Structure 1
Amino acid sequence: MKRIGIDVGGTNTDAVLIDGDKITASIKVPTTQDVMSGVKSALAHVAAHIGDTPRPLDAVMIGTTHFTNAVVERARLERVAAIRIALPTGASLPPMCDWPEDLYRAVDPMIFMVHGGHEYDGSPLVPLREDEIREAAMKIRDAGVTSVAISATFSPLTTECEDRAAEIVRSIIPEARITLSNSLGRIGLLERENVALLNASLQSLGKTTVQAFKTALAEIGLDAPFFLTQNDGTVALADVAAANPVFSFASGPTNSMRGAAFLTGLNDAMVVDVGGTTSDIGCLIGGFPREANNIVHIGGVRTLFRMPDLLPIALGGGTVVDPETGAIGPRSVGYRILQEARVFGGQTLTTSDIAVAAGMIEMGDPSLVRDLDPTFVQDTLARMRAMVAENFDQMKTSAEDVPLIAVGGGAFLIPDEVPGASEVLRVENAGVANALGAAMAQVSGEVDQVFSDMSREQALAAAETEARAAAVAAGADAESLQVLEIEDIPIAYLPGGARRVRVRVIGDISFG
């Protein structure tokens, strides 16, 4: 199978062409301010090698930071409408009450709270007031808003209220893009609602981003199915992924972790992905990143949904070093490293300059950093080692030593010995591990919800059926699907033998 994988980071855009298990071509270029010109440049380089073997190109996989950046920058977000089905409870904490003020203004929400929802045992809280939903939908229509997030109390137990509300909204606003909180988040109304609202605010950007990538592929002359990478280490058809852009959050580090597993053959290890701005530390379990099972803040917003368990630290190849104190970060020159770092003729001292001065890597013009005091250089390196060691220890879940795989363009910053690591692995092509992880990704389907009034076997079977259907919808070959994870937790305080079931299946891409 021949594929192109590309990962757009804040500092660099990496691309690889793989043919089976062989890397045919790879390139790392600085991410451009307009993003797309850098993408085209990277694509053009690897596309030029497609004819090296007779096999045709099967697919293009792209990982992008577009959606995360939009939230962080408070830019390119769409106005949304929030419909919460929870009255008479939940009125004291309205939707988005915990959002940062600047992000709240950027989204400029219309907020409606209506009667309905369910209790923790799945019984109706009060009857659903359909007239209130119709009234809200008409006001949303009149305001010209087409992106709507619907949430209801305990909707992961029963989706009845959210499903009915969506039907009503669509009958009044046929062109509406609707996000249901039960399809993204977990138990916990505010966090689940926040995920749905973030997703709703990004759907227009998702559509335009996918179209921009399609245009770039066409201009390069690439005619192949197009997928976007997801934050669980898999991919989904671009149009499917565009409907749920929040699943692309943190996909870059996840791609790197999958690439690290591919390059080393290790399925269980710790990974440090060193980019130009940050390093992300994560844990591989069975070849996939460990999933976070707690609150994750995105752009200052509390969320609880499918996210990799990552610890970002302000240590990257472009991280600024204070020339007086040796303090490291958190600022970074990012994609401007080729203009601003000392070794490239700039005036800003970066971690890359320190590494060149210490003889750790050849980059730029070493003569431009010869004036650095050797003691200062060694003290700064010691601070870097301490940062890595402290945060590596924080992410470990075992007292035993475990392998540490260093990947990313700034992997040279990771010391050869880290306390708690059995070894530090450096492999060829580690600098483009993120693009490689994208290129060799499979397709997954996941269900994480509460089932009741059925046996354990029936609940597991129902969850697996739904997960398989989700994978096929995302572009998987139904015949290749395998169950990757099953999690079954009885919920003692709920009646009807309720249990939370999480099933994840994975399979190869369908090209049929």
Structure 2
Amino acid sequence: MLLGLDVGGTFTDAVIIDGHRVVATAKRRTTKDNLMYGIGEALDAVLEGYDTSNIEQVTLSTTVVTNTIVEEKEQVVDLYVITGPGRNVDDIFPVEPIYLQGYTDHRGIVVEGTPADAVRGIAKMVQAHSGTDLAAVSAKFGVRNPHEELSITEKLKNTYHTISNGSLLSGSLNFPRRTISAYFNSAVTPVFTVFKKNVEEALNIRHITAPLHILKADGGSLPMEHMVSRPVETAFTGPAATVLGLSALGAIGKKHTVALDIGGTTTDISLWKYGKPLMTKSGVSIREYPSAVRSFAVTSVGIGGESVVRLKDGDLTVGPERVGPSVALGGNKPTLGDALIVLGHASYGDADLATQSLQQLARVLQANWKHGECEDTFGNHNSEKQCTHNMSALDVAQLIVEKALEIIQHGIDEVVQAENKRPIYVVADIVNPDVFVPEHIVVVGGTAPSLGPSIGEYLELPVTIPENAAVANAIGAALALSTIELTVHVDTKRRLLVIPELGIKQQNCTLKRAEQVVERAKETLSEEAIRLGLDTAQEIEVISIEDFPVVEGWQSMERLITVKVQLAAGVKHYVE
């Protein structure tokens, strides 16, 4: 049996999957002040009647890292960079960096080393001022030769408890993105470490000894122990769990599909082409900073089942804030969920309380009409008709839902327009452009059954709401395949091989052709998978191959070859 947990912004979901069947589900409120309480409630509910010794693996997705970043509650980090010549980078990082002497060129040649004594002296002064035990180190072209990064890290170990390296987190060229990843990786390490300890204690109390994995933003999972050194990759795992859940439920099909995950606070929008989700091209943005963290292309809009309904200047607004549960569940502010209950689309909580809350709104709107503000409130939509009769709770509920649908449509339109404006890099895409035109809507999340049909009618598109849509994220987490990626860079002239994510630099490399580098990359990835205890039977896919000639004396005799491979992300199987 597999146990999946999804700790969302509003609800914590848990599922048990036995073979191809979902045999138990639970949904409990997320307790933000004490996450472990909500997680414990979800675990106790889903495990009732099951022998925990039969659980083979626990996989979770969590908002812990995401919330820490979004709420700007990360810890102070001293950021050390080795830039060499080039543009000033003061304005592109979350903090002012500490510049160290040194320079590695585009071939990975250390043109100027960083003096050891200087690094130690600078670190003592910097740390004395900041008072932090967290640091990050990133060097331009560090992925071509990580020597300087690793050397500096070694010199800083007596000063800092946690040090993140840009080249160990990503093997891709893009110094700013790697540096931002390294900074945030250290910044969220303390909160992630505490979260890991609490989750392990919660599982131990319930006698669950199965391996514990955590989801990454790219849709793969890795052992929790391994992720302690790279917690930034667990940011935005909620959207990743959504994508995997949609895959596991087999609801996408081969059309151009818009998938919506409607939670309590937000709606996540993902686009699918021919059954595959779109990925971010270079990495996800962490706040306004572009990182090297690979992620599905998912956009969130501020509308969910518990989006608060307010009157502002005579106008009715829905979201983006969430201030608590729906009135039907004991809250004190009406929400989209209350409107769905009044319309008969949802049946939970106290319907009378929901009706009363919307009736109060109706009376305020009615008072606005008497002061000639009807047109401001309703625009041109049935304004005259609305002004001529007493407004009911049902009228307000319909208006709330319509405004929510407008927000969702606007979000979809923006995501689709952004996809269709993406730069074209190959001739084939110019000759045969593949414009994304939505043909199908799939809706999951707790609000899916109550709002999904209305979305289909509003957008005039067929809608699918799969079984177990309310806990799709937890299903996705439970069934996530483990995935890691590696980059192998070979300079045939210098006979140098570098694997930045593992800190490997090998001289006297005899590889000469791209296909040889691919084979070496696959072999190394398999060895690393075995070391981590992952499934070595998984497919290894080649993400990219770069093969550039080195021209000297008007001849091309040598090459720069870079190959990126990964254990294929996805789900173990569909669920029935």
Match of 1:74 among 72, 75, 79: 72
Unpaired stretches in structure 2, ≥5 consecutive residues: 363-391, 420-434, 493-511, 553-557
Following TM superposition, by how much is the alpha carbon of 1:118 offset from its aligned partner in structure 2, in angstroms? 2.1
Cα separation, partners in 2 of 1:419 and 1:320, compared to 1, 3 Å? closer
Question: What is residue 18 of structure 2 aligned with on the other side?
Answer: 19
Question: What is residue 404 of structure 1 aligned with on the other side?
Answer: 441
Whole-angstrom CA distance in 2 between matches of 1:150 and 1:201:
13
Following TM superposition, by how much is the alpha carbon of 1:468 offset from its aligned partner in structure 2, in angstroms? 3.4
Match of 1:254 among 240, 243, 264: 240
Question: What is residue 44 of structure 2 aligned with on the other side?
Answer: 44
The answer to whether the 8 A contact 2:282-2:294 is kept is no
The answer to whether the 8 A contact 1:471-1:506 is kept is no
Match of 1:85 among 82, 91, 103: 82
Correspondences of 1:36-435 after superposition (within 5 Å): 36-51=36-51, 56-75=54-73, 77-87=74-84, 89=86, 92-94=88-90, 98-99=93-94, 111-139=97-125, 145-170=132-157, 172=158, 176-185=161-170, 186-264=172-250, 266=252, 269-284=257-272, 289-294=277-282, 296-323=284-311, 324-333=314-323, 336-337=324-325, 341-370=326-355, 371=359, 372=362, 373=392, 374-396=394-416, 397=419, 398-411=435-448, 412-414=450-452, 415-417=454-456, 423-435=462-474
The answer to whether the 8 A contact 1:393-1:420 is kept is no
Match of 2:540 among 476, 483, 487: 483
Whole-angstrom CA distance in 2 between matches of 1:469 and 1:421:
51
Query: Match for 1:458: what amino acid?
Result: Q
Query: Match for 2:69: what amino acid?
Result: V
Greater CA drift, 412-421 or 24-33: 412-421
Question: What is residue 8 of structure 2 aligned with on the other side?
Answer: 9
The answer to whether the 8 A contact 1:475-1:509 is kept is no
Q: Secondary structure at the match of 2:320?
A: strand
Match of 1:506 among 564, 568, 572: 568
Following TM superposition, by how much is the alpha carbon of 1:85 offset from its aligned partner in structure 2, in angstroms? 1.4
Cα separation, partners in 2 of 1:181 and 1:380, compared to 1, 3 Å? same
Question: What is residue 477 of structure 2 aligned with on the other side?
Answer: 438
The answer to whether the 8 A contact 1:17-1:46 is kept is yes
Query: Match for 1:130: what amino acid?
Result: A
Following TM superposition, by how much is the alpha carbon of 1:391 offset from its aligned partner in structure 2, in angstroms? 2.4
> Is 1:468 the counterpart of 2:488 in the alignment?
no
Measured on the aligned residues, the alpha-carbon RMSD in Å equals: 3.1
Greater CA drift, 10-19 or 140-149: 140-149
Residues 435-472 of structure 1 show CA distances to partners (whole Å, capped at 9, x for unaligned) of 11111111001135755434221332343344434444
| Count of aligned pairs between the two proteins | 487
Question: What is residue 497 of structure 1 aligned with on the other side?
Answer: 559
Residues 88-141 of structure 1 show CA distances to partners (whole Å, capped at 9, x for unaligned) of 555x434x7643xxxx5xxxx8x5321223233434453333333333455567
Residues 262-284 of structure 1 show CA distances to partners (whole Å, capped at 9, x for unaligned) of 11254654321111111111134
Query: Match for 1:445: what amino acid?
Result: I
The answer to whether the 8 A contact 1:12-1:276 is kept is yes
Query: Match for 1:216: what amino acid?
Result: A
The answer to whether the 8 A contact 2:14-2:42 is kept is yes
Q: Secondary structure at the match of 2:348?
A: coil
Cα separation, partners in 2 of 1:388 and 1:471, compared to 1, 3 Å? farther
Identity of paired residues, percent? 24
Unpaired stretches in structure 1, ≥5 consecutive residues: none
Q: Secondary structure at the match of 1:5?
A: strand
Cα separation, partners in 2 of 1:84 and 1:233, compared to 1, 3 Å? same
Residues 445-501 of structure 1 show CA distances to partners (whole Å, capped at 9, x for unaligned) of 1135755434221332343344434444544122x1212453224568999533553
The answer to whether the 8 A contact 1:468-1:481 is kept is no
Larger Rg: 2
Cα separation, partners in 2 of 1:79 and 1:346, compared to 1, 3 Å? closer
Whole-angstrom CA distance in 2 between matches of 1:429 and 1:450:
44
The answer to whether the 8 A contact 1:67-1:246 is kept is yes
Cα separation, partners in 2 of 1:205 and 1:281, compared to 1, 3 Å? same
Whole-angstrom CA distance in 1 between matches of 2:551 and 2:471:
48
* Displaced runs of 4 or more, over 6 A: 140-144, 285-288, 418-421, 492-495, 507-510
The answer to whether the 8 A contact 1:257-1:288 is kept is no
The answer to whether the 8 A contact 1:226-1:238 is kept is yes
The answer to whether the 8 A contact 1:403-1:423 is kept is yes
Cα separation, partners in 2 of 1:287 and 1:224, compared to 1, 3 Å? farther
Following TM superposition, by how much is the alpha carbon of 1:214 offset from its aligned partner in structure 2, in angstroms? 0.6
Cα separation, partners in 2 of 1:153 and 1:308, compared to 1, 3 Å? same
Residues 318-349 of structure 1 show CA distances to partners (whole Å, capped at 9, x for unaligned) of 1112244222221112xx31xxx232343312
Q: Secondary structure at the match of 1:444?
A: coil
Greater CA drift, 377-386 or 14-23: 377-386
Residues 336-394 of structure 1 show CA distances to partners (whole Å, capped at 9, x for unaligned) of 31xxx232343312111121222221122223344353444333322322322332244
Following TM superposition, by how much is the alpha carbon of 1:203 offset from its aligned partner in structure 2, in angstroms? 1.6
Q: Secondary structure at the match of 1:222?
A: coil
Cα separation, partners in 2 of 1:403 and 1:88, compared to 1, 3 Å? same
Whole-angstrom CA distance in 1 between matches of 2:38 and 2:515:
50
Query: Match for 1:468: what amino acid?
Result: S
Following TM superposition, by how much is the alpha carbon of 1:238 offset from its aligned partner in structure 2, in angstroms? 0.8
Whole-angstrom CA distance in 2 between matches of 1:382 and 1:253:
25
